[in-house]
């Protein structure tokens, strides 16, 4: 819960004394316990290329020159404020555009390249029309209003409300309160109006201090604002929490594609794919870092070494340049060079994936500790665990055996409407075993999950890798028979058969495709339901019934025996036996559990087949339609029966 001062004026053309002022202000802010400052540059008039960000962040050395006892002072104040002693002091860059006409305000949109060079963008409206435009449409982070003069426009409640809903913050500067007694009157009366309209929300307080005398400690500032009608709690929030949220959002917009993926350029000498990097990188993402300008204050020596290494950081690269450099076909699966026959086969069938990002791990753990600002794509993995795969963009690492010189390309599904192939490949990427990956991918590339299951059943390899959901579900026997017959790992035959049955069911499964695929990947429990839906749809198809009838249990048994590794096939066999009963209500819970295990995410499927075997043996009674009860949903089984008996 750090404190930020987001307005330290910076003047590009200032004299050396001006520069010295900036150093002093930054030092003072750090001493007083602030966690970060933003150097603010104002500009007026027409924006041009010359207005790109050229604000140099200050180095620790410069700060230490001004205040040699900086670290002890900082630790004293941070201790008193209850802040962690070793958190970095951050520097951001900010641009304030003084807009006089609506045309100037319209420049402030997300396509403006000059704005992208700054961390924060603020607009200072000078008349009513510009203010309205700024509240409603401008892509800015902050609306800064100069309260020291009588406002030339009115603050209207609907406008203010719109701005708050959009996530724009209003800024109040307190330096005019401190410096000039005459101005105090004006500031307090106009700022009070803003506070009333916003009710304290979406406000940030900044210093706009032109000299060191005008900066104050964070608690003091919060207290002075109580004069404006902001409660102490809101005041403290406006100088800490609101600033933090604002910075995090602004940096997300600037550096992430669609606010979820960070793209980094990876130096070719970097080591890839090492498993160690995963967890280390995950935890090191720093949402408030602007990439450089973070000053750590551990001890003097260390801090000096850190500041030297800052230059070695990897910057986030502009996503658009990546997209433009990609081939028109987008990301090809073959780029992944699995070198596997199955993969090649799948390539033929697969569409090209739409590449959304190129995510690479850019640094080893050694560098990490010194450069907290570095982001790794993996941090998104943590997000992924919490949200559906296809809801947000997520990133995957290349499997360990894919160390290659060229940058790692990972498939990325941005669009919610995924293709199976994409799903398959994403599933594949989770695996450590390339073979299994390829096969799984291949499996995924086949038609829907039912097919997936049977494909997997037949191939011994895939046993160890994926226990497909639908497999244990009592897939319609027709499919099973096809699958089981291919007990030997004859992929070609299998595939041909698969394709045949695939055709039969393609029509059915299209609708449930995406859904089932989604569920397969993510949530075991939910997957069950969706898979069951899929299965039910399978069941409902008359074709499946016919095929089932045609099967010869005996042949099934034989073939099952052939495939020694196909443990699940035994289960299928049993399933086929009990299939006749068609009532699997009692066994449903078991099968559900079993399905749970089966559907367990690909990266968990390295659960030993031994476990699975014992579990499966217990479930001989698993039936073809374990989830048939879902056809006619009732609240509780028992109650339903009672009702039925009564009526």
Partner 1 sequence: MVGFKNRYMVMEVFLDPNRELAVDDPIILTQFNVSKAIRDSILVNFGECGLASSLGSFQVKYVNPITKLCIIRASREEHQKVWAAITLVTSVGNCPVLFNLLDLSGSIKAGKKAALKCDELKFEQYKLASGSCLSPEVIQQMHNYQEKIKILEH
Cβ partners under 8 Å of residue 504, min gap 6: 478, 543, 547
Provide the 10 A C-beta neighbour count for residue 167.
11
* Closest distance to partner 1 from the beta carbon of 246 (Å): 24
Name the residue among 499, 515, 500 with its Cα closest to residue 445: 499
CA dist., res. 532 & res. 539, Å (int): 10
- Say if strands 261-262 and 120-125 run parallel, antiparallel, or are unpaired: unpaired
Q: x/- site string to partner 1, residues 59 to 88, per CB under 8 A?
A: -------xxxx--xx--x---x--------
CA dist., res. 102 & res. 172, Å (int): 23
Q: Which of 143, 215, 333, 599 binds partner 1 (CB under 8 A)?
A: 215
In this complex, which beta carbon is closest to partner 1, that of residue 28 or of residue 548? 28
- If one asks whether residue 640 binds partner 1 (CB under 8 A), the answer comes out as no
Where b means 16+ CB within 10 Å and e means fewer, 239-267 reads bbbbbbebbebbbeebbbbeebbbbbebe
Specify the stretch interacting with partner 1 by CB under 8 A; choose among 119-127, 221-229, 245-253, 483-491: 221-229
In this complex, which beta carbon is closest to partner 1, that of residue 228 or of residue 414? 228
Query: Between residue 336 and residue 375, which ones bind partner 1 under the rule CB under 8 A?
Result: none
The three-point CA angle 33-14-102 to 5° equals 90
CA dist., res. 201 & res. 197, Å (int): 9
Count, residues in the chain: 647
In this complex, which beta carbon is closest to partner 1, that of residue 111 or of residue 181? 181
* Closest distance to partner 1 from the beta carbon of 354 (Å): 55
* Closest distance to partner 1 from the beta carbon of 381 (Å): 43
Cβ partners under 8 Å of residue 14, min gap 6: 21, 22
Query: Between residue 1 and residue 30, which ones bind partner 1 under the rule CB under 8 A?
Result: 24, 28
* Closest distance to partner 1 from the beta carbon of 39 (Å): 19
In this complex, which beta carbon is closest to partner 1, that of residue 74 or of residue 121? 74
End-to-end CA separation in angstroms for the chain: 64
Q: x/- site string to partner 1, residues 184 to 213, per CB under 8 A?
A: x--------------------------xxx
Q: How many residues bind partner 1 (CB under 8 A)?
A: 29
* Closest distance to partner 1 from the beta carbon of 190 (Å): 17
- If one asks whether residue 220 binds partner 1 (CB under 8 A), the answer comes out as yes
In this complex, which beta carbon is closest to partner 1, that of residue 24 or of residue 441? 24
* Closest distance to partner 1 from the beta carbon of 34 (Å): 12
Name the residue among 78, 36, 83 with its Cα closest to residue 58: 36
In this complex, which beta carbon is closest to partner 1, that of residue 220 or of residue 259? 220
Query: Between residue 166 and residue 185, which ones bind partner 1 under the rule CB under 8 A?
Result: 177-179, 181, 184
Strand arrangement of the beta sheet that strand 90-99 belongs to: 3-9, 34-44, 90-99, 120-125, 142-144, 169-173, 203-206
Cβ partners under 8 Å of residue 599, min gap 6: 467, 468, 469, 519, 520, 524, 527, 528, 531
Residues lying near partner 1 in the complex (CB under 8 A): 24, 28, 32, 66-69, 72-73, 76, 80, 177-179, 181, 184, 211-213, 215-217, 219-221, 223-224, 226-227
């Amino acid at each position: 819960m750090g404190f930020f001062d987001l307005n330290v004026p910076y003047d590009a053309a200032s004299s050396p004394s001006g520069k010295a002022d900036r150093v002093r202000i930054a030092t003072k802010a750090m001493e007083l316990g602030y966690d970060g400052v933003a150097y603010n540059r104002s500009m007026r008039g027409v924006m041009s290329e010359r207005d790109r960000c050229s604000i140099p962040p200050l180095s620790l050395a410069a700060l230490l020159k001004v205040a040699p006892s900086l670290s002890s002072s900082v630790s004293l104040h941070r201790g008193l404020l209850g802040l962690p002693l070793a958190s970095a002091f951050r520097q951001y860059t900010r641009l304030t555009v003084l807009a006089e006409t609506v045309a100037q305000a319209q420049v402030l949109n997300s396509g403006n390249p000059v704005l992208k060079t700054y961390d924060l963008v603020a607009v200072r409206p000078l008349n009513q029309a510009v203010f309205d435009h700024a509240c409603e449409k401008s892509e800015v982070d902050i609306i800064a209003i100069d309260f020291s003069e009588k406002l030339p426009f009115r603050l209207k409640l609907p406008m203010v409300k719109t701005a708050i809903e959009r996530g724009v913050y209003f800024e109040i500067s307190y330096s005019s309160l401190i410096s000039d007694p005459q101005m105090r009157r004006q500031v307090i009366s106009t700022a009070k109006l803003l506070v009333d309209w916003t009710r304290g929300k979406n406000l940030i307080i900044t210093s706009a201090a032109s000299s060191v005398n005008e900066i104050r400690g964070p608690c003091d500032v919060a207290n002075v604002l109580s004069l404006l009608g902001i409660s102490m709690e809101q005041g403290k929030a406006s100088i800490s929490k609101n600033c933090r949220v604002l910075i995090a959002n602004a940096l997300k917009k600037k550096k992430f594609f669609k606010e979820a993926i960070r793209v980094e350029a990876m130096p070719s000498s970097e080591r890839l794919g090492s498993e160690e990097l995963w967890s280390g990188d995950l935890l090191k993402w720093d949402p408030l870092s602007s990439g450089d300008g973070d000053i750590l204050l551990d001890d003097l020596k260390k801090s000096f070494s850190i500041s030297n290494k800052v230059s070695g950081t990897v910057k986030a690269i502009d996503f658009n340049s990546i997209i433009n450099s990609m081939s028109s076909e987008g990301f090809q699966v073959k780029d992944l060079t699995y070198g596997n026959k199955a993969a090649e086969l799948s390539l033929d069938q697969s569409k090209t994936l739409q590449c959304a990002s190129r995510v690479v791990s850019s640094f080893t753990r050694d560098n990490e500790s010194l450069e907290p600002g570095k982001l790794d794509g993996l941090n998104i993995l943590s997000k992924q665990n919490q949200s559906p795969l296809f809801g947000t963009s997520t990133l995957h690492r290349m499997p360990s055996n894919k160390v290659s010189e060229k940058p790692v390309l990972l498939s990325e599904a941005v669009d919610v409407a995924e293709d199976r192939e994409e799903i398959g490949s994403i599933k594949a990427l989770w695996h450590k075993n390339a073979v299994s990956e390829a096969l799984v991918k291949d499996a995924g590339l086949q038609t829907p999950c039912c097919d997936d299951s049977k494909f997997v059943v037949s191939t011994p390899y895939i046993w160890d890798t994926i226990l497909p959901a639908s497999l244990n579900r009592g897939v319609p026997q027709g499919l099973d028979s096809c699958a089981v017959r291919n007990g030997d790992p004859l992929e070609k035959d299998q595939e041909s058969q698969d394709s045949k049955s695939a055709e039969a069911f393609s029509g059915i499964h299209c609708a449930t495709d995406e859904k089932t695929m989604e569920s397969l990947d993510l949530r075991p429990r939910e997957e069950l339901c969706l898979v069951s839906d899929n299965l039910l749809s399978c069941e409902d198809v008359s074709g499946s019934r016919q095929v089932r009838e045609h099967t010869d249990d005996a042949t099934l048994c034989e073939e099952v025996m052939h495939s020694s590794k196909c443990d699940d096939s035994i289960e299928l066999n049993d399933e086929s036996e009990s299939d006749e009963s068609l009532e699997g209500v009692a066994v449903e819970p078991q099968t559900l559990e079993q399905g749970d295990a089966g559907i367990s995410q690909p990266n968990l499927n390295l659960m030993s087949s031994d476990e699975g075997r014992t579990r499966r043996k217990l479930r001989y009674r698993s039936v073809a339609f374990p989830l048939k009860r879902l056809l006619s949903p009732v609240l509780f089984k028992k109650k339903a029966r009672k009702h039925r008996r009564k009526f």
